[in-house]
């Protein structure tokens, strides 16, 4: 088990461009979360998937942010028309459907986005 992986690890883009990040959860983890974290703050919830269904999302995801998990495995987070305020670390986490670790979220290493 290699843990949660995210790609790319770093992304530098110009304001106004679209970016897409990918998250591969731990195998057989059915729950997947996206967060955004800026320096000195805790992770900010963006959205949550159970299998392929997006069950919760913050108000952020009603605008330029969108997320998908089409086959209930990997997920993508897209930011359209990026703004400098979007610069942050984007974290993905996953949780198993049952077992001792049911209540744990296993975080990936994150994608650091810099918008110039």
Partner 1 sequence: GQNIDQPTEMTATEGAIVQINCTYQTSGFNGLFWYQQHAGEAPTFLSYNVLDGLEEKGRFSSFLSRSKGYSYLLLKELQMKDSASYLCAVRGNTGGFKTIFGAGTRLFVKA
**Phi-psi map region of 76: left, alpha, beta (phi>0 left; psi -120 to 50 alpha):** beta
- Name which of 74 and 107 has its Cβ closer to partner 1: 107
d(CA 21, CA 67): 9
Among candidates 105, 114, 109, 85, which has minimal Cα distance to 45? 105
Q: How far is the CB of 41 from partner 1 (least distance, A)?
A: 5
CB of 32 to partner 1, least distance (A): 10
The residue to which tokens 């106004």 are assigned: 16
Q: Which residues would be at the binding site for partner 1 (CB under 8 A)?
A: 31, 33, 35, 40-45, 48, 50, 55-56, 91, 95, 103-110
Cα 70 from Cα 52, distance rounded (Å): 6
Looking at the Cβ atoms of 17 and 55, the one nearer to partner 1 is: 55
To partner 1, the closest distance from the beta carbon of 89 in angstroms equals 9
Which lies closer to partner 1 via its Cβ, residue 45 or residue 74?
Answer: 45
């Amino acid at each position: 088990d290699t843990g949660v992986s995210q790609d790319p690890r770093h992304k530098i883009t110009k304001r106004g461009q679209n970016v897409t990040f990918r998250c591969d959860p731990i195998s057989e983890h059915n729950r997947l979360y996206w967060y955004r974290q800026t320096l000195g703050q805790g992770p900010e919830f963006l959205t949550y998937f159970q299998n392929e269904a997006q069950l919760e999302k913050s108000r952020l995801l009603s605008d330029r942010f969108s997320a998908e998990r089409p086959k209930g495995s990997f997920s993508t987070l897209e930011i359209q028309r990026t703004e400098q305020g979007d610069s942050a670390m984007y974290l993905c986490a996953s949780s198993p459907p049952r077992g001792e670790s049911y209540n744990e979220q296993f975080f990936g290493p994150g994608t650091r986005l810099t918008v110039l």
